[in-house]
């Protein structure tokens, strides 16, 4: 059983990494977005392997099913073209690759110091819907609510910035019909 | 009850094959039923020539679609163009994996639920899978490289994302009452005739409305409005690739009907009598199918009755009516649950 888990972990871990690399590499926005969806899906499977069903499906529902749909939607709506190669990209690559390895090293060291092997293998009871609810709405109620207010402020700000005054149509498909005409239709 | 792995795999395989076979033939015959019922509503006869009462018509249609010329327009993004119908149909069929059709049964000394697999967040699984379904449509429209397809898929994208919210929020009420996301536990919580349709009638109506929008059915079939968009997102698809989109639309209809049955109508509950095989297997399955069939009939009935909404009306209904009412329903239900 452990072997099967290991094989699945390797497959989906590799898929997640490949998707991430492809997202950075691809010049076409739509393929970049699709690679990101692949990463989200592979991560969801990894959560499933850890026994975290709730988080896995919420990951699919929220990230792949809602956020990425909006990304793809915007890319299609604006008909975003592939980006031309950028001068500064080479500089970023030179700096970025070592940075990735340093970051990975720090993370691995932190995990190795903090968690013993046995404890990692045992898994965490935190994954059930009830315990997640307890954590969010009891122990972490204040930060949770503060975050939601933060999001609300963000949304209000985005609407304020995006809404231009003196335009009557809001939707993309809204016909420019006056209310008086509409009632006569 | 410990069963050997081999037997477990065998039972799982039998259940999967059986469910897929039933689903596939059901899709074909829902479509025939739709043609006959809509024909009757319009004082026509519908297909009657192939087989008795037209019963072999789906078979003839399948052959026709298989034998038709498969055209791939030259300006498409070929990989995604091929992938889109496959995504659509895979995701549409995936959700039946967690739908329970009946109670746990004992057969040949083994115990198994009438369901491919049970997971304790089954409802979330179905919502997650249906939320991905939009990619099939959106990618089809984009990769076709045609303005009608693109407009259709943009409409589908915004419509499905908007109504998914109302759909999910409507299901929160029954989930709160049942205290679980496990579909079997939701059904068990309705035992004894306490169907959630009565306390959660508001949620039921919102779910039903959102389900029509999620499956792109009339009156919300704007993604394929033939009067203005050719055929919408599948304009450039032909033969079997078109059939796959068609297939997934009906599979999605069946899925939302099954979820409505499970969450609001008590699943397979109903009067049972007689010997064990009748009262434990056949009658529960019968009641489940009857309830699901009612919803499928409703889909067809509405198609024969209502005209199509305008796009801004659709968005206004979703965001200004359904979502606020669903939120209020969640609030009231949680207060009641907390009070008890």
- Asked if the structure places residue A107 within a domain, the reply is no
Over range B123-127, report the average pLDDT.
90
pLDDT by residue (tens digit) across B67-82? Answer: 888 888 887 777 888 8
For residues A11 and A76, membership in a common domain is answered with yes
Q: Mean of the per-residue pLDDT values for chain B?
A: 87
Contact B138 A69 (CB under 8 A): yes
- Tell me whether A77 touches chain B (CB under 8 Å): yes
Interface of B with A (CB under 8 A): 80, 119-121, 124-125, 127-129, 131-132, 134-135, 138, 141-142, 150, 153-155, 157-158, 160-161, 164, 168, 181, 311-312, 315
pLDDT value at B4 more than 80: no
B139: closest chain A residue by CA: A72
> Could you say which DSSP state residue A4 is in?
H
For residues A76 and A132, membership in a common domain is answered with no
pLDDT by residue (tens digit) across B11-30? Answer: 888 888 988 898 888 898 99
pLDDT by residue (tens digit) across B262-298? Answer: 999 988 888 888 787 788 888 888 999 999 999 999 9
A53: closest chain B residue by CA: B121
pLDDT along chain A (185 residues), means of 10: 79 93 85 91 89 86 87 82 70 80 90 70 64 84 92 92 65 50 42
HEC readout, B14-73: HHHHHHHHHHHHHHHHHHHHHHHHHHHHCCCCCCCCCCHHHCCHHHHHHHHHHHCCCCCC
Q: Please give the residue range of the domain that contains residue A147.
A: 128-160
- Tell me whether A177 touches chain B (CB under 8 Å): no
Contact A66 B131 (CB under 8 A): yes
pLDDT by residue (tens digit) across B163-179? Answer: 988 999 999 999 999 98
**Predicted pLDDT at A94:** 79
List of chain B residues whose C-beta atoms are within 8 Å of the C-beta of residue A173: 155, 311-312
Beta carbons within 8 Å of B68's beta carbon, 6+ residues apart: B238, B239, B240
- How many structural domains are present in chain A? 2
Q: What is the CATH number of the domain that holds A22?
A: 1.20.120.1200
Contact B135 A60 (CB under 8 A): no
Quote the ipTM score.
Answer: 0.80
- Tell me whether A80 touches chain B (CB under 8 Å): no
CA-derived radius of gyration, chain B: 21
**Predicted pLDDT at A145:** 92
Say how many CB pairs under 8 Å bridge A and B. 77
pLDDT confidence of B311, banded at 50, 70, 90? Answer: confident
- Tell me whether A36 touches chain B (CB under 8 Å): no
Percentage of the residues of chain B whose pLDDT score is greater than 90: 27
pLDDT by residue (tens digit) across B98-119? Answer: 898 888 877 777 777 878 888 8
**Predicted pLDDT at B204:** 94
**Predicted pLDDT at A183:** 43
List of chain B residues whose C-beta atoms are within 8 Å of the C-beta of residue A66: 131, 161, 164
Beta carbons within 8 Å of B338's beta carbon, 6+ residues apart: none
Please answer whether residues B143 and B81 qualify as being in contact, where contact means their C-beta atoms are separated by less than 8 angstroms. Answer: yes
């Amino acid at each position: 059983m452990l072997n099967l888990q290991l094989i699945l972990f390797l497959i989906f871990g590799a898929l997640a990494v490949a998707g991430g690399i492809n997202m950075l590499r691809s010049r076409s926005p739509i393929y970049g977005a699709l690679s990101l969806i692949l990463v989200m899906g592979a991560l969801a499977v990894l959560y499933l392997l850890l026994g975290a069903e709730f988080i896995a499906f919420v990951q699919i529902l929220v990230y792949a099913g809602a956020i990425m749909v909006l990304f793809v939607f915007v890319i299609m709506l604006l008909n975003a073209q592939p980006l031309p190669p950028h001068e500064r990209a080479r500089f970023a690559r030179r700096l970025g690759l070592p940075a990735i390895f340093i970051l990975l090293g720090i993370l691995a060291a932190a995990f190795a110091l903090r968690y013993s092997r046995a404890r990692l293998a045992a898994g965490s009871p935190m994954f059930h819907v009830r315990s997640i609810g307890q954590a969010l709405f009891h122990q972490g109620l204040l930060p949770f609510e503060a975050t939601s207010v933060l999001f609300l402020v963000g949304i209000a700000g985005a609407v304020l910035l995006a809404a231009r005054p003196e335009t009557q149509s809001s939707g993309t498909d809204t016909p420019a019909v006056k209310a008086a005409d509409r009632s006569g239709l | 009850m410990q069963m050997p792995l081999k037997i477990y795999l065998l039972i799982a395989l039998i259940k999967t094959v059986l469910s897929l076979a039933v689903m596939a033939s059901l899709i074909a015959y829902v479509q025939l039923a739709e043609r006959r019922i809509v024909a009757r509503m319009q004082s026509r006869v519908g297909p009657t020539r192939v087989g008795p009462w037209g019963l072999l018509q789906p078979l003839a249609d399948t052959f026709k679609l298989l034998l038709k010329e498969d055209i791939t327009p030259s300006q498409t993004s070929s990989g995604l163009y091929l992938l889109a119908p496959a995504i659509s149909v895979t995701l549409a069929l995936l959700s039946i994996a967690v739908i329970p059709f009946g109670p746990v049964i004992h057969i040949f000394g083994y115990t198994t639920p009438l369901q491919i697999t049970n997971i304790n967040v089954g409802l979330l699984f179905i919502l997650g899978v249906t939320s991905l379904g939009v990619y099939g449509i959106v990618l089809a429209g984009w990769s076709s490289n045609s303005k009608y397809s693109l407009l259709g898929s943009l409409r589908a994208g915004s419509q499905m994302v908007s109504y998914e919210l109302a759909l999910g929020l409507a299901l929160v009420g029954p989930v709160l009452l049942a205290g679980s996301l496990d579909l079997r536990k939701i059904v068990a919580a309705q035992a004894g005739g306490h169907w959630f349709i009565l306390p959660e009638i508001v949620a039921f109506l919102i779910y039903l409305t959102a389900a029509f929008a999620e499956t792109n059915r009339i009156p919300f079939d704007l993604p394929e409005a033939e009067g203005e968009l050719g055929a919408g997102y599948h304009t450039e698809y032909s033969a079997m690739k078109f059939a796959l989109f068609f297939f997934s639309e009906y599979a999605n209809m069946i899925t939302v009907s099954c979820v409505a049955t499970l969450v609001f109508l008590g699943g397979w509950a109903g009067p049972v009598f007689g010997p064990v095989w009748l009262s434990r297997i056949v009658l529960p399955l019968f009641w489940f199918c009857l309830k699901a069939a009612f919803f499928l009939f409703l889909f067809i009935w509405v198609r024969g009755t209502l005209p199509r909404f305008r796009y801004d009306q659709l968005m206004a209904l979703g965001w200004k009516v359904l979502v606020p009412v669903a939120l209020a329903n969640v609030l009231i239900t949680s207060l009641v649950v907390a009070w008890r």
